[in-house]
């Protein structure tokens, strides 16, 4: 059974790799201007103060949003690439128009900080884990050599001396 | 009436301060009378805040517009239940609601868990300390009973965004969760103060933790649902600062919920558990603070205020006191247990915790990063949905993987046989699912990974249910009965699995978002717009007044292929008193496969109407997942008879010793 299961896994893995290598941009040519605008709307912050992207601004009527979307549409229709559109909007509204901060300078802390922390945590767990697994049977530390009840009584007695 | 409210709040602040001092002195001096008095102060606090809340509710219901709060959040035409919800709709009211819940929980603890005699004074002190902060805010900074010199003839009315059934459930459940975590935190402080650092405090608060986690989960889910049906942009989670604020304590609380099991079973991770509950409580306060301070712009900051610095000071105080106490107790916190192997359930829980806390950290960093950037570089930046999605997707997938691995790794040391037995079949099924999806044209890598992992985790859980049931069946029980009894006899374990199944469905629903499609169209009567297999025909507009609003509704006939499947009526309403802010009421047609979501975006003067039409795949599964998560938590929460008997036996043995 086992070799059969293994060979099945290998076969399945092979098929997966083959399918993954297929080009996935077949329908890119058919994308409409609207689809590009919708996509870009998720990348820029609405300037109405809602603190959300153009795609998720919650105001049913929102002048700033409509103006920006119209501008983006005009740029897309003029054949600008998303990178060029980004430059235009950043020049106009400042860096805060980007829904995700550009990956440079201080912003790298936000982008990579979580992963660095996770990596550090994993290293700590592995090191600690290794030392815990190697450690001989635990030597009872002085405070824990007492039962909780004894400890309570001791605390009580000591407290009497404190007063 | 307002005088009674003001007096109750002022007395509540005094009683809180008194309770704090009495509890601490009672514990320090070993004075039973002071301890008793502190206990009674908890009851008094609850009574006083109940009176204050009753006064506010009375004023809301009777439309006492002389009260500034009532005038700001209600109007004569507001329905009864929304009037009640005004209790927590505004800043002062919601602070009162917070304080009232806390006093209620404190009373429940004193009444039901008085047996923890050593811990109780410090538990009371912590509850009273927290209550002092909130009641002082109510008494001095943000009173729900401030009077207006001239009562207006009518109030400003409740923000139309808040007039949705979801808002009746979302804030209370959210607050129940936030406030609930005060109790495990209070027990943790008490455990540190008394040096009773075994698993007593964890056992004492297991149910509190579970209940708080449950309510926080529900609060988040109700919030998502509200955002989905009410905010009208087609999504349910925008990574808004306040949404993030609710997610952070949920993540650390989830980590805590898991890691306490290691302390119970193996007497390990004592320091870590204390750190987690301190963080969870601080983040819960931070969540309340973000909602109410307006320090970060947010759709939820319905009131700007001067509360920011005070909340900040309180959080700092909580962290300083807690971590100082923790540092002082480190010598007593050495773990008795040891790790036998890095390939064991204990170790996998460490990774589960790491990922959950890592996720919380990433959300925290992203949420506060605009402030950091402005402080360091002097440049305003935005950190929005694309950032959080990109950073958190890999973390979420890792979490999903660990969710499959954790529960089925053996304690102490997993053998090769254990791994093969539990993971070979689910692993193969996950891979198979990935291949089938690829063949069906699903090439989005994140969605593919999420679905494949979902299948893997589901298979591990189903396999474990099946094995357990088969063992019982071998003893003569029919299979369905065996399955039912299996769950009922091991509620904690199988309840947990049911929660996991719910979380998988949530993940699947989120992954479905990768296949969302959207169209915008300006239609004249009789024209159609097509999206996927649907065609929507615009039939016309109708306008009619309701007690609080002027409704403009579009009628659209929906065809699935050529077959008419229903009529949708997206609306655009102008609420009285909020004429400058028309509200969209979306129309949603839900099936198990997908939601057809229609927004009436605008109305032309020539009778044309513009629509945004969205197809959101698998949305229904999110809500089903939420229901399953709730069901699982209830199963895990439900007391087990045998456990109760064992607990009593332990108590009796302890009493004789």
Each residue of B69-80: pLDDT tens digit?
999 888 888 888
Place of tokens 């440049």: B379
Phi-psi map region of B195: left, alpha, beta (phi>0 left; psi -120 to 50 alpha): left
Contact list in B for residue A98 (CB cut-off 8 A) is 381-382
Q: How confident is the model at residue B423, as a pLDDT?
A: 86
Decide if B517 touches A, using CB distance below 8 A: no
Condensed to tens digits (0 to 9), the pLDDT of residues B131-151 reads 999 999 999 988 999 999 888
* Cβ–Cβ < 8 Å for B15, B41: yes
CA of A124 vs chain B CAs: smallest distance (Å): 10
Return the minimum-mean-pLDDT range out of B386-400, B588-602, B639-653.
Answer: B639-653
Copy the structure tokens of residue A70.
């119209």
Q: Structure tokens of A25?
A: 């941009």
Closest residue in A to B379 (Cα) is A95
Task: Using an 8 Å CB-CB cutoff, list chain A residues near B373.
Answer: 101, 106-107
A31 Cα to chain B: minimum distance (Å): 12
Which of B536 and A26 is assigned the larger pLDDT? B536
pLDDT band at B303 (very low <50, low <70, confident <90, very high): very low
Question: What are the tokens at A52?
Answer: 């959300």
Query: CB distance A99–B385 less than 8 Å?
Result: yes
Name the percent of chain A in helix, strand, coil, to the closest 5.
Answer: 65, 0, 30
Q: Name residues whose C-beta falls within 8 Å of residue B271's C-beta, 6 or more positions apart in sequence.
A: B326, B330, B333
Selecting from A19, A43, A163 the residue whose C-beta is nearest the C-beta of B438 gives A19
- Cα–chain center distance at B38: 31
pLDDT of residue B648: 56
pLDDT (mean) for B512-534: 89
Whether ipTM > 0.85 holds is no
pLDDT value for A1: 39
Contacting B residues, span 38-97, partner chain A, CB-CB under 8 Å: none
User: Of B525, B543, B537, which Cα lies nearest the Cα of B598?
Assistant: B537
On whether any CB of chain B is under 8 Å from the CB of A51, the answer is: yes
Q: Which of residues 593-632 of B touch A (CB under 8 A)?
A: 601
- Over residues A29-46, the pLDDT tens digits come to 335 787 888 888 888 998
Query: Cβ–Cβ of A110/B366 closer than 8 Å?
Result: yes
**Dmax (CA) of chain A:** 85
pLDDT number for residue B129 = 96
Which residues of chain B neighbour A57 with C-beta distances below 8 Å? 233
Hey, what are B574's tokens?
Answer: 């102008």
Structure tokens at B20: 């704090």
Selecting from A9, A19, A52 the residue whose C-beta is nearest the C-beta of B238 gives A52
- The pLDDT of residue B246 is 92
Q: Is B199 on the interface with A (CB under 8 A)?
A: no
CB contact under 8 A, B387 and A101: yes
* CA gap B46, A20 in Å, rounded: 62
- Mean of pLDDT values over A125-143: 65
Give which of B201, B385, B449 to mutate to test A binding, by max A Cβ within 10 Å: B385
Predicted pLDDT of residue A130:
78
Alpha-carbon Rg of chain B, whole angstroms? Answer: 27
Are A81 and A68 a contacting pair, CB within 8 Å? no
Dist. CA B244–CA B300, nearest whole Å = 11
d(CA A70, CA A51): 19
Q: Are B491 and B583 in contact (CB under 8 A)?
A: no
Rounded to whole angstroms, what are the CA distances from B536 to B432, B491, B519, B568?
A: 37, 48, 11, 9
Task: Tell whether A26 lies on the interface with B, counting CB pairs under 8 A.
Answer: no
Cross-chain residue pair A94–B357, CB shorter than 8 Å:
no
H/E run at residue B545: strand B534-545
Which positions 61-100 of A are in contact with B (Cβ < 8 Å)? 61, 94-100
User: Exposed/middle/buried for B539, CB within 10 Å: 0-12, 13-18, 19+?
Assistant: middle
Give mean pLDDT, residues B222-238: 87
Distances (CA, A) of B195 to A148, B227, B261, B267, B657: 9, 45, 20, 15, 20
In chain B, the percentage of residues whose pLDDT exceeds 90 is 51
* CA Rg value for chain A: 30
Contact A133 B338 (CB under 8 A): yes
Contact B296 A22 (CB under 8 A): no
Whether the CB of B351 is below 8 Å from some CB of chain A: the reply is yes
Q: How confident is the model over B449-488, as pLDDT tens digits?
A: 999 999 999 999 999 888 888 888 888 888 888 888 888 8
Long-range Cβ pairs for the range B436-443 (8 Å, 24+): B438/A16, B438/A19, B438/A20, B439/A19, B442/B515, B443/A20, B443/A22, B443/A24
Determine the pLDDT at residue B471: 84
């Amino acid at each position: 059974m086992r070799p059969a299961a293994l060979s099945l896994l290998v076969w399945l893995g092979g098929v997966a790799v083959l399918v993954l290598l297929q080009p996935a941009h077949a329908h890119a040519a058919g994308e409409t201007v609207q689809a590009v605008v919708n996509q870009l709307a998720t990348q820029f912050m609405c300037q109405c103060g809602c603190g959300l992207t153009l795609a998720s601004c919650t105001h049913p009527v929102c002048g700033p949003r409509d103006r920006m979307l119209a501008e983006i549409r005009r740029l897309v229709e003029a054949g600008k690439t998303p990178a060029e559109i980004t430059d235009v909007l950043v020049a106009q509204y400042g860096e805060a128009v980007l829904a995700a901060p550009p990956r440079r300078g201080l912003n790298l802390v936000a982008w990579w900080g979580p992963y660095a922390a996770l990596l550090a945590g994993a290293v700590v767990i592995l090191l600690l884990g290794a030392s815990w697994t190697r450690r001989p049977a635990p030597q009872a530390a002085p405070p824990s050599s007492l039962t909780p009840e004894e400890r309570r009584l001791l605390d009580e007695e000591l407290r009497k001396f404190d007063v | 009436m307002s005088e009674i409210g003001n007096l109750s709040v002022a007395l509540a602040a005094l009683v809180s301060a008194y309770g704090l001092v009495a509890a601490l002195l009672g514990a320090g001096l070993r004075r039973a009378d002071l301890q008793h008095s502190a206990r009674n102060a908890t009851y008094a606090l609850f009574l006083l805040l109940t009176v204050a809340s009753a006064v506010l509710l009375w004023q809301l219901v009777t439309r006492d517009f002389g009260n500034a709060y009532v005038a700001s959040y209600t109007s004569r035409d507001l329905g009864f239940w929304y009037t009640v919800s005004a209790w927590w709709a505004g800043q002062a009211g919601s602070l009162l609601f917070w304080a009232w819940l806390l006093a209620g929980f404190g009373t429940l603890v004193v009444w039901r868990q008085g047996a923890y005699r050593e811990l109780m004074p410090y538990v009371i002190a912590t509850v009273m300390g927290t209550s002092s902060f909130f009641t002082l805010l109510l008494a001095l900074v943000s009173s729900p009973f401030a009077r207006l010199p001239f009562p207006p003839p009518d109030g400003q009315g409740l923000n139309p965004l808040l007039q949705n059934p979801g808002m009746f459930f979302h804030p209370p459940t959210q607050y129940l969760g936030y406030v609930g975590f005060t109790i495990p935190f209070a027990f943790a402080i008490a455990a540190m103060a008394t040096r009773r650092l075994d698993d007593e405090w964890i056992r004492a608060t297991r149910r509190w933790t579970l209940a708080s986690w449950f309510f926080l989960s529900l609060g988040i889910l109700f919030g998502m649902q509200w955002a989905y049906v009410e905010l009208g942009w087609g999504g349910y989670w925008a990574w808004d600062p306040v949404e993030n604020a609710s997610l952070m304590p949920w993540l650390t609380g989830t980590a805590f919920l898991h890691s306490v099991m290691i302390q119970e079973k193996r007497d390990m991770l004592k320091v870590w558990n204390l750190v987690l509950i301190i963080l969870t409580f601080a983040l819960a306060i931070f969540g309340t603070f973000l909602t109410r301070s307006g320090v970060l712009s947010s759709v939820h900051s319905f009131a700007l205020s001067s509360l920011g610095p005070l909340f900040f000071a309180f959080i700092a105080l909580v962290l300083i006191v807690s971590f100082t106490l923790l540092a002082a107790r480190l010598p007593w916190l050495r773990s008795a247990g040891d790790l036998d192997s890095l390939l064991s359930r204990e170790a996998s829980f460490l990774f589960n915790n790491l990922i959950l806390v890592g996720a919380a950290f990433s959300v925290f960093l992203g949420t506060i990063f605009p402030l950091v950037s402005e402080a360091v570089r002097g440049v305003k930046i935005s950190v929005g949905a694309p950032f959080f999605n990109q950073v958190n997707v890999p973390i979420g997938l890792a979490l999903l993987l660990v969710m499959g691995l954790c529960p089925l790794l053996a304690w102490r040391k997993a053998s090769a046989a254990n791994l093969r037995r539990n993971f070979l079949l689910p692993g193969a099924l996950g891979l198979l699912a990935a291949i089938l999806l690829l063949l069906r044209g699903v090439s989005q890598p994140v969605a593919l990974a999420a679905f494949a992992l979902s299948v893997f985790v589901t298979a591990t859980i189903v396999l474990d249910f099946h094995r357990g049931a088969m063992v019982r069946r071998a003893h003569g029980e029919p299979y369905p009965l065996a399955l039912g009894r299996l769950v009922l006899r091991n509620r904690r374990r199988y309840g947990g699995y049911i929660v996991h199944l719910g979380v998988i469905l949530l993940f699947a629903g989120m992954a479905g978002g990768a296949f969302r499609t959207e169209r915008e169209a300006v239609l004249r009567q009789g024209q159609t717009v097509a999206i996927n297999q649907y065609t929507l025909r615009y039939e016309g507009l109708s306008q009619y007044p309701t007690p609080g609003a002027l409704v403009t509704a579009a009628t659209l006939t929906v065809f699935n292929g050529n077959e008419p499947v229903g009529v949708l009526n997206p609306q655009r309403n102008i609420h009285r008193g909020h004429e400058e802010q028309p509200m969209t009421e979306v129309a949603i047609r839900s099936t198990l496969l997908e939601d057809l979501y229609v927004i009436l975006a605008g109305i032309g003067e020539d009778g044309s109407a513009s629509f945004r039409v969205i197809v959101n795949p698998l949305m229904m599964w999110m809500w089903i997942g939420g229901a399953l998560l709730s069901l699982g938590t209830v199963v895990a929460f439900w007391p087990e008879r045998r456990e109760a008997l064992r607990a009593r036996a332990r108590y009796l043995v302890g009493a004789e010793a």
